[in-house]
Amino acid sequence: MDTKRFETKEQDIAEAAALLQRGEVVGFPTETVYGLGANAFDAAAVDKIFAAKGRPSDNPLIVHIAHRRDVEKLARVVPAGAALCMERFWPGPLTIVLPCVDSVPRNVTAGLDTVGIRMPDHVTALQLIDAAGVPLAAPSANRSGRPSPTTAEHVLEDLSGRIAGVVDGGASGVGVESTVLDFSGATPMILRPGGVTREMLQEVIGEVGIDPALESGVGTPKSPGVKYTHYAPQGEMWLVEGARDLEKITELVQAAQEAGHRVGVLTTAERADAYAADVVIACGRRSDLSTVAAGLYDAIRQFDHADADLIYAEVFPETGVGLAVMNRLRKAASHRAIQS
């Protein structure tokens, strides 16, 4: 199939929406990463998402909406805390997990009785959902296991010929996927960290837990990005932890190069000139972790383009958006780590 590239003009959005109405799948920009959308109430269309991505069928999808009133089409109940979060953080990078109505297809929820819902903070995404006239089930628009896409070029790199179209809205801003917050239990629980931090949530609703399965990946996932390998480069990535990380990475790079490897280092602007690796990529500034989040997936893809077969990565404080950054880095590295 030919994958059509759309611009953000009204006519192009209408054409992309028409594809969605006909049961096709279309990539589109959000403020986090690019999503791969299909009519959330069309099980056959949703199946095309799984086929295009090579995504496991027990991995649930997030449903994107353009209006708060659409929540009632998807959820049986909205607790007071969830309503507060919608008022404070929507539109924005927060997915709220609620008990779902029976009309939501089982392949959207991976057979669970809950559904994740979010309203993206991106004008093109909202226009597309509105024009399609239906909520859109939309995981990230990449092949399963690959780094999530933050540009239309990334989408086409992974999915050209496998999807009907992609709307090019430029680079995403946040860069890591939405926070997933589960309201189906007694205490609100973060299933996946993202652009809305635990600290921000606790200011609004009080106690917020973190699901122990976030790192273990054991059991049936209630959120995307939990159970399976994600965000990985083609080369083998290792995280280097500890106070002597610069010296340790320098030693590791030298030894790996002597062994014949093409070596990459993932760092930040503050240290970009400190390493003599074959490929040194700064994903942002350590002084502002939001820039690291925004640049992380593009940086990981750059190692693939540079044919790095071994990558050493610096680590970051797990506060604020740093929790999401480290969650993605650990999965990209398959939890491989070296202490300095």
- Binding-site residues for ATP: 55, 59, 114, 118, 140, 148, 192, 231
Contact 335, 329 (CB under 8 A): no
User: Which residues, listed in sequence order, are joined to residue 115 by a DSSP beta bridge?
Assistant: 98
Nearest to 324 by CA among 184, 201, 188: 201
At a CB cut-off of 8 Å and minimum separation 6, what does 141 contact?
Answer: 27, 28, 33, 34, 35, 36, 149, 154, 155, 158, 159, 163, 166
List the binding residues for L-threonine. 32, 64, 138, 178
Six token digits for residue 4: 């059509």
Contact 322, 316 (CB under 8 A): yes
List the binding residues. 32, 55, 59, 64, 114, 118, 138, 140, 148, 178, 192, 231
Query: How many Å apart are CA 112 and CA 63, to the nearest integer?
Result: 14
**Cis before residue 91, ω within 30 degrees of 0?**
yes
Pairing of strands 263-267, 279-282: parallel
The crossing angle, in degrees rounded to 10, of helices 198-205 and 80-89 is 120
**What dihedral do alpha carbons 99, 94, 127, 289 form, nearest 10°?**
-160
